[in-house]
Amino acid sequence: MELKKDSNAVSIDMLLIVHSEKRRAAQGTHSDRQADPGALPQRRGGLQGVRNGIRRWQKFEGNDVHGSLAEKQHPQQTQVITSYDNQGTQLTVEVHPRDAMPQLLKKFSLAKRLQSDKNGNTRPRQPGTKDAHAYPWDRSSLKSMPLDLRQFEKLDTYASQVTVKSGLDELVSDLLQEAHSDLERVRVIWIWICHHIEYDVEAAQEKDRQAFKPTDILRTQKTNCDGYAGLFEKMCRIAGVHCVTVPGYSKGFGYQTGQSFSGEFDHAWNAVYLEGRWHLVDSTWGSGLVDSSTSKFTFLYNEFYFLTHPALFIEDHFPDNKNWQLLKPPQSLRQFESNMYHKSEFYNKGMLSAHPETSVLRTVNGKATITIESRAPTLFMFMLNGKQEHGLLSLRKNGMKLDIYPPAVGTHKLQIFAKGNSDIYSSVLEYTLKCNYVDLSVRLPTELHQPVGPSWFSEQMGIVKPSHPDPIIHTSDGRCSVSFDVEEGISVLASLHGDEGPITEETQRRYIFQLQREKRAELKVQLPQAGKFALKIFVKKRLEPGNYVFVFNYLLCCTNTKVNWPMFPESFGNWGQDNELLEPLSGVLPANRNVSFKLKLHGVAKALVKGQDTWPLTLNQEGYWEGSCSTAGCREIYVMVLENANHNFYSYILKYKVNAQ
């Protein structure tokens, strides 16, 4: 509305403020407290039933730059008219020079270029170029604005401990006690919802979903995604922060890799306006997760969905309006459906990228290869159709490589897990694997665990400078020798595993003979037959109790069908780590033969071989104990040592079996 009398025309802006008669009476005369920034009456809906009432005039002094400038140009003074009707409705009108900043807007801390929605609520501009982030992700940050999460530690603790005493307004008021910026206000609301509101699985699965009222959510502390988003928006508005609810499609609970989206939207989240820019949050997914096997919700806070970088948010959130992607260029629904879905834990665990960038893989000659790049060394594992089989996973300094060999033609489910800084492996990727050919020559041992081959992890566990850096060892005669340095105080244990043949749980260590030369350990391996075998390596700190820990394994391959090596002799606890066996290496000796023995034994006073009779071994100039014995009439042969010349007690160190006659 505009009145023109002369060259000094005035502009009339109207800011309508509604108070009940009860509140007006309690406050007494009109005062500056009515313009408290914390009380945002314009957010409570439109004005209804204003009638003629008593008018009162007030004068505002213009002290800011805009006001003083306007006053110089226009001699009119700013005037405010406050009117009440007989039912207590209050109407405040400000009359000010055309170029002056409205004083009421100043007092409400709303001196911004704001728009008004149909309900009279103020809001900033719609998302535009200023809000758009580049796509694809530039790897700079998981957040859409610079954040130091350490600054929220005390605030998060406070917010998570606030309890509901009465209504929503009081709850927000309590939360804002420790919040001093819009960012902190959003943070305390986010933290409170994520730690107190449970996802209502049953309600979410109902065909005719009912809207959740904030009062009901506070009472039951349960809701669905619409309720999460609505509650978050309502609390932000009470706190004076601009927030909207964004509906759309999601790759959440029940999502199947590669599925298409159509029809009704299945999810809702929020956008908040902070520091002149829109940002995205999803308090539903920030609060926890639903177990797909039990359909039960578990509180598990997820920081990822707070102010998520839009180029990452789009991986599992597709809004109804492309502008709310906050991306340049925006993605189409078809792209959203076909793009690789990296779960939030993919980024939480420090992953950067995965190749190939498609959720549906097809094998080539019966094999598919996946690589992952990470910010730091990370432990991985995989499952094909729910089992840790049919794959070779090798760790890299910054990622991993997985070669997968499906055992049958058809469609398979491949899951990849990462450990990160926690003690728990989390699912980070899922693939649909289509196989139209099986390479029967590639049959991996069932006991071939992950990872395969030495890596940064084996170095961390005390095994360094391996003789075989590659995970696969090929042997033409069925024998090989693997060696590596072992850090001081570390004990090494190895076992051999195959799916066929004579190897059992009792004999899996008998096809390996371990030698120790100062800091270097050597594993002599003899295969019982042709095939593929897992050579598993474990370590343990000598002075600490507990079991050996698996570190890695090699895949041993032999195609020579003539291979038929016997087991090594059985060694006992007194077999020293620095001892060395030259002959006989076979743990099974021929019957009725003279057999030569040659060993290097440290810290030994005497050594002998015991069968039907006893044959002493002598120490030669090269430091080896030598001698021979007859296997006639023997079923077993033992090597025994006397460690102290002043004692008469001999210890068993090796045991051989003798073939039946």
Which amino acids are annotated catalytic? 225, 267, 282
Q: Is 28 left (phi over 0), alpha (psi -120 to 50) or beta?
A: left
Instruction: Tell me the longest C-alpha to C-alpha distance in the chain.
Output: 133
Task: Give which of 463, 455, 460 is closest to 398, Cα–Cα.
Answer: 455
- How many Cβ atoms from other residues are within 10 Å of residue 221's Cβ? 13
Please answer whether residues 436 and 365 qualify as being in contact, where contact means their C-beta atoms are separated by less than 8 angstroms: no
Sequence-distant (6+) residues with CB within 8 A of 83 are 50, 52, 53, 54, 55, 56, 90, 91, 92, 93
d(CA 503, CA 496): 8
Given a contact cutoff of 8 angstroms between Cβ atoms, the answer to whether 268 and 246 are in contact is yes
CA 4 to chain centre: 65
Hey, what are 75's tokens?
A: 């001699």
Q: Quick check: 652 and 572 in contact, CB under 8 A?
A: yes
Nearest to 40 by CA among 105, 124, 95, 90: 105
The span from the CA of 431 to the CA of 340, in Å, is: 9
Three-state SS at 187: helix
Rounded Cα gap, residues 449 and 536, in angstroms:
8
CB 636 within 8 A of CB 658: yes
Rounded-to-integer distance, Cα 380 and Cα 392, Å: 11
Closest of 10, 242, 12, 234 to residue 114, by C-alpha: 242
Strand partners, 198: 222
Residue 419 tokens read as 């450990």
For residue 329, say if its preceding peptide bond is cis, omega within 30 degrees of 0: yes
Q: Are 543 and 489 in contact (CB under 8 A)?
A: yes
* Cα–Cα distance measured from residue 480 to residue 512, given in angstroms and rounded to the nearest whole number: 10
What six digits make up the tokens of 341? 């879905």
Question: Cα(263)–Cα(254) distance, rounded to whole angstroms?
Answer: 16
